[in-house]
Structure 1
Amino acid sequence: MKLIRLLSVVLLVVVYVFTSVRAGEEQQLPLFQAHAHNDYEHARPLHDALKNGFWSVEADIYLIDGDLLVAHDRRDVKPERTLRKLYLDPLQAYFRKQSFPTKERTPPFTLLVDIKTDGAAVYPVLRQQLEDYAELLCRVEDGKSIPGAVQIVISGDRPKELIAVANPRYMGIDGRLSDLDSKQPADLMPLISDRWTSHFKYRGTGSMSEAERTKLQMIVKQAHTAGRRVRFWATPESEAVWRELVAADVDHINTDQLKRLSVFLRGQL
């Protein structure tokens, strides 16, 4: 009974923390597995994801005229849609309004930044911008990991060497399944991502084969043993596939359909 009462108190605290956010905007309890793929294509980038409880979002960036602009394709960039305006400033404002009594047990919010071209040229601009948000970010200084509310993970054209030698370091590297055996520390490579359709045949019709289910479970187990999280992109927008990902304890479930995945994951609680 004491354990039940304790769990009830913890739940109430978490409910309070995550509903005490932007005035006038409904906020749902966080869904730590929910990842907004190409988040910037929604009507309200970041805010729609947060409203639906997502705890991970993806932003594609280009270096244009000295600034970092968010878009999927180069032809779609707009000068007002910067990484600062769409993500860094709103995340800073969001977390400044919150107090986290359960901070140690709350995973950081993931901002997955996909560098579309020339990572080496983008890196110094991105690093300079992130320095302005240092207190918000998970970072490594002089070999010591310092927790933060937001973890930046770099995907796409990843300047791995530049990231690895930075001190302080404000970014981690998005690995691939070929990196499952990597000896890199988890704070440098916190995430393993790969294309679902390159490794699995299951598309959500019928039952997943036991061989593929076992393969998925082993991938997750190996990544978790190394302290890394797992994400697949190009997963079918299928509840049958989502059930397999949840059952295998995949950390980030990729979707373009925010409300649908939110409803699905809440049904699994």
Structure 2
Amino acid sequence: MFKLCFSFLFLISIGSALAADSKHPLHSHNDYEQDRPILAAFDNNFKSIEVDIWLSNNEVKIAHNPWHFKGTLEEMYLIPLQKMVDAGTINADAENPILLWIDIKDIRQKINKRLAAVLEKYPMIGNEVRVILTGSKRLKRKFVLDFPHIAVDRDENTLEDLQDSPTPFHWFTIKWSKNFTWNGE
């Protein structure tokens, strides 16, 4: 028990130290579930935001499940972000960007083409805002190959992916439940 408490306190102290360092941003997972999506994150100095996307009626929509859409990626995130970047109201640049994690939940390949068309409209992508694709391994690999001119990164999910990566990866994600037993209680 002592070991567990000590480990937990150690992780909290590391988290606090990293949060104070702008190079290690705080992260808002499923940000769209907040009362004030994106705004609450920035008010609390979060520089990393994650959203889940689906394709519905040829629009890239935000939701954890495809039957409860919150809005579109553009209206909820891209338009407000571009306005903040243009107005200079957020502290971000190409060296210290806002991280926008886009979790591709929809497994249909046509979401990639639509997502590319949406992202291409925003000059902040690849500059003040870095997009990181997560979710479907097949779709994010295909996106990077089909749209290399769009500045996106992708995460890698297994060590085996390291050799076969079509582009340099910058992020590595792991499944919490495969590595930890703590469930928040």
TM-score range, shorter chain: 0.7 to 0.9
Q: 2:177 matched to which residue of 1?
A: 197
Aligned equivalents of 2:146, 2:97: Cα separation in 1? 23
For normalisation by structure 1, the TM-score amounts to 0.54
Aligned length: 164
SS in 2 for 1:91: helix
Instruction: Flag the structure with more relative contact order, 1 or 2, with Cα contacts below 8 A and sequence separation at least 6.
Output: 1
Residue type of the partner of 2:69?
A: V
Cα deviation per residue 1:170-222 (whole Å; 9 max; x = unaligned)? 3221211425744637x742211111220234x3xxxxxxxxxxxxxxxxxxx
Residue type of the partner of 1:137?
A: I
Q: Compared with structure 1, are the counterparts of its residues 181 and 115 closer, same or farther at alpha carbon in structure 2 (3 Å cutoff)?
A: closer
| Structure 1 alignment gaps of length 5 or more | 1-28, 139-147, 204-235, 239-269
Q: 1:63 matched to which residue of 2?
A: 55
Cα deviation per residue 1:215-253 (whole Å; 9 max; x = unaligned)? xxxxxxxxxxxxxxxxxxxxx558xxxxxxxxxxxxxxx
Q: Which has the larger radius of gyration?
A: 1
Q: Specify which of 97, 105, 119 is matched with residue 116 of structure 1.
A: 105
Aligned equivalents of 1:164, 1:199: Cα separation in 2? 30
Superposed displacement of residue 32, structure 1: 3.5
| Structure 2 alignment gaps of length 5 or more | 1-20
Percent identity between the aligned chains? 25
RMSD: 2.9
CA contact (8 A) 2:131 2:153 kept: yes
Q: Compared with structure 1, are the counterparts of its residues 174 and 183 closer, same or farther at alpha carbon in structure 2 (3 Å cutoff)?
A: same
SS in 2 for 1:194: coil
SS in 2 for 1:110: strand
Superposed displacement of residue 98, structure 1: 1.7
Aligned equivalents of 2:89, 2:37: Cα separation in 1? 23
CA contact (8 A) 1:176 1:194 kept: yes
Q: 1:40 matched to which residue of 2?
A: 32
